[in-house]
């Protein structure tokens, strides 16, 4: 997939969620647009999302809150007539150790409510996902709902920029080299 038409960063709107684990998708697409000097996002009410367009590629941050992300994604897909196979969803992943990146296609949501919402609204899992690990190394017992909206630990915060830059590099690699090379590259790396 060299011709991604829609990149979606998942997160929650509002200052209180800005630097939380669940918002790593927002952080990555912000960094991606800044790295490529694509300009600023603008709020598009008809999509319930902040949207930026560059040529045939659109980058969006749904502002529907995580659990309703599919509402915005479905509106974008319908309006722009985008094949779900040409969508990349960037999101946090509690099942992966912090800093681990994985690119996958056609997989179920595995408990991620934002991805589940997209699956429900698009009626398919045939889209790409860049999963960014947020699982802590030193916590065994936690409440997942509270954990994902918590801020990063001081140690994680030190590594966060590197994780974001690796995710940006992965998106660039998808665009230039395709998904297979990106998968091979990411799956051969150790976490940040």
Residue stretches of the annotated binding site for tRNA: 17, 65, 67, 113
Contact 80, 9 (CB under 8 A): no
Residues belonging to the binding site are: 17, 65, 67, 113
* 91 included as an active-site residue: no
Contact 49, 72 (CB under 8 A): yes
Determine which one of 2, 19, 22, 81 is catalytic.
Answer: 22
How far is the C-alpha of 172 from the C-alpha of 96, rounded, in Å? 22
How far is the C-alpha of 119 from the C-alpha of 107, rounded, in Å? 10
Alpha helix positions (H), 49-152: 69-80, 113-122, 144-148
Contact 119, 108 (CB under 8 A): yes
The side-by-side arrangement of strands in the sheet containing 6-9 is 42-44, 49-54, 57-62, 6-9, 87-97, 128-135, 101-105
> Can you point out the beta strands (E) in the chain?
6-9, 42-44, 49-54, 57-62, 87-97, 101-105, 128-135
Residue positions annotated with a catalytic role: 22
């Amino acid at each position: 997939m060299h011709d991604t038409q829609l990149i979606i960063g998942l997160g929650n709107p509002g200052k209180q969620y800005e630097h939380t684990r669940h918002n790593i998708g927002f952080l990555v697409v912000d960094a991606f647009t800044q790295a490529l000097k694509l300009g600023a996002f603008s709020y598009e009410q008809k999509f319930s999302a902040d949207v930026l367009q560059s040529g045939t590629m659109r980058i969006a941050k749904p502002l529907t809150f995580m659990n309703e992300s599919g509402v915005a994604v479905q509106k974008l897909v319908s309006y722009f007539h985008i094949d779900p196979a040409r969508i990349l969803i960037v999101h946090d992943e509690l099942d992966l150790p912090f800093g681990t990146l994985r690119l996958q296609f056609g997989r179920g949501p595995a408990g991620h409510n934002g991805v589940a919402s997209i699956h429900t609204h698009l009626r398919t899992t045939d889209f790409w996902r860049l999963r960014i690990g947020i699982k802590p190394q030193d916590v065994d017992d936690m409440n997942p709902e509270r954990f994902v909206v918590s801020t990063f630990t001081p140690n994680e915060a030190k590594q966060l920029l590197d994780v974001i830059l690796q995710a940006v590099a992965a998106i660039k690699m998808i665009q230039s080299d395709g998904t297979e090379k990106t998968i091979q590259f990411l799956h051969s790396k150790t976490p940040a």
